[in-house]
Structure 1
Amino acid sequence: MSQLPKQPAEGPVPTSADVARLAGVSRATVSYVLNNNPTVRISESTRRRVREAASELGYVPHAAARSLRAGHTRTVLMPTGDHPAGPLHHRFLHELESGLRRLDYTVVQHGSLGLDADEAARAWAELRPVAVIAPGGVALTPQGIAVLRRSGAKAVITLGPQPVDGAHALVMDQREVGSCATGHLLQRGRRRIGVVMPEEPGLAPFAEPRLSGARRVAADVGALIEPLPLRYDEESAGALAARWRTLGLDAVFAYNDAYAMLLMRALQDAGIEIPAETAVVGADDLLIGRLLRPRLSSVRMELAASQPLADLVDRLVRHPGGVPERHDLLRARAIPRESS
Structure 2
Amino acid sequence: MSQLPEQPADTSIPTSADVARLAGVSRATVSYVLNNNTTVRISESTRRRVREAASDLGYVPHAAARSLRAGHTRTVLLPAAHVPAGPLQQRFFIDLQSDLRRLDYTVVQYGSGGLDPDEAARAWAELRPVAVVSPVGMALTRVGIGVLTRSGAKAVITLGPQPVDGAHALVMDQREVGSCAVRHLLSGGRSRIGVVMPQEPGLAPFSEPRLAGALRALDETGADARIQPLPLRYEEASAEDLAARWRSLGLDSVFAYNDEYAMLLMRALQDAGVEVPGEVAVIGADDLMLGRLLRPRLSSVRMELATAQPLAEMIDRLVQHPGGAPERHYLLRARAVARESG
TM-score, normalised relative to structure 2: 0.95
Shift, 1:9, TM fit: 2.8
Task: Indicate the percent of aligned positions where both proteins have the same amino acid.
Answer: 79
Q: Is the 8 A contact 2:82 2:136 kept in 1?
A: no
Partner of 2:167: 167
Q: Is the 8 A contact 2:287 2:300 kept in 1?
A: yes
Partner of 1:298: 300
How big is each residue's C-alpha offset from its partner over 1:126-151, in whole Å with a ceiling of 9 and x where there is no partner?
11111100012011111111111111
Q: Is the 8 A contact 2:96 2:312 kept in 1?
A: yes
Partner of 1:258: 260
SS at match of 1:282: strand
Partner of 1:221: 223
How big is each residue's C-alpha offset from its partner over 1:34-90, in whole Å with a ceiling of 9 and x where there is no partner?
112232222222211211111111111111111222233221111112211111111
- CA distance in 1 between counterparts of 2:214 and 2:43 reads 58
- CA distance in 2 between counterparts of 1:244 and 1:61 reads 63
For structure 2, list consecutive stretches of 5 or more residues without a partner in the other structure. Answer: none
How big is each residue's C-alpha offset from its partner over 1:141-178, in whole Å with a ceiling of 9 and x where there is no partner?
11111111111111110111111111111111111100
Partner of 1:210: 210
Partner of 2:288: 286
Letter in 1 for 2:35: N
- CA distance in 2 between counterparts of 1:288 and 1:222 reads 34
How big is each residue's C-alpha offset from its partner over 1:92-111, in whole Å with a ceiling of 9 and x where there is no partner?
01211111111111221111
- CA distance in 2 between counterparts of 1:157 and 1:223 reads 39
Change (3 A) 1:184 1:48: same
Partner of 2:232: 230
Q: Is the 8 A contact 1:71 1:152 kept in 2?
A: no
Please list, as runs of the form range in 1=range in 2, the aligned pairs for 1:83-102 lying within 5 A after superposition. 83-102=83-102
Change (3 A) 1:92 1:7: closer
- CA distance in 2 between counterparts of 1:247 and 1:10 reads 77
More deviation, 202-211/49-58: 49-58
Shift, 1:7, TM fit: 5.9
SS at match of 1:145: helix
| Number of aligned positions between the proteins | 336
- CA distance in 2 between counterparts of 1:260 and 1:228 reads 12
Partner of 1:338: 340
Please list, as runs of the form range in 1=range in 2, the aligned pairs for 1:142-157 lying within 5 A after superposition. 142-157=142-157
Change (3 A) 1:7 1:133: closer
Q: Does 1:319 align with 2:328?
A: no
Q: Is the 8 A contact 1:95 1:309 kept in 2?
A: no
How big is each residue's C-alpha offset from its partner over 1:281-329, in whole Å with a ceiling of 9 and x where there is no partner?
0001111111111111000111222222211111111111111111111
Point out 4+ residue stretches in structure 1 off by more than 4 angstroms.
Answer: none
- CA distance in 1 between counterparts of 2:298 and 2:228 reads 21
Q: Is the 8 A contact 2:19 2:54 kept in 1?
A: yes
SS at match of 2:177: helix
For structure 1, list consecutive stretches of 5 or more residues without a partner in the other structure. Answer: none
- CA distance in 2 between counterparts of 1:139 and 1:85 reads 16
- CA distance in 1 between counterparts of 2:136 and 2:231 reads 22
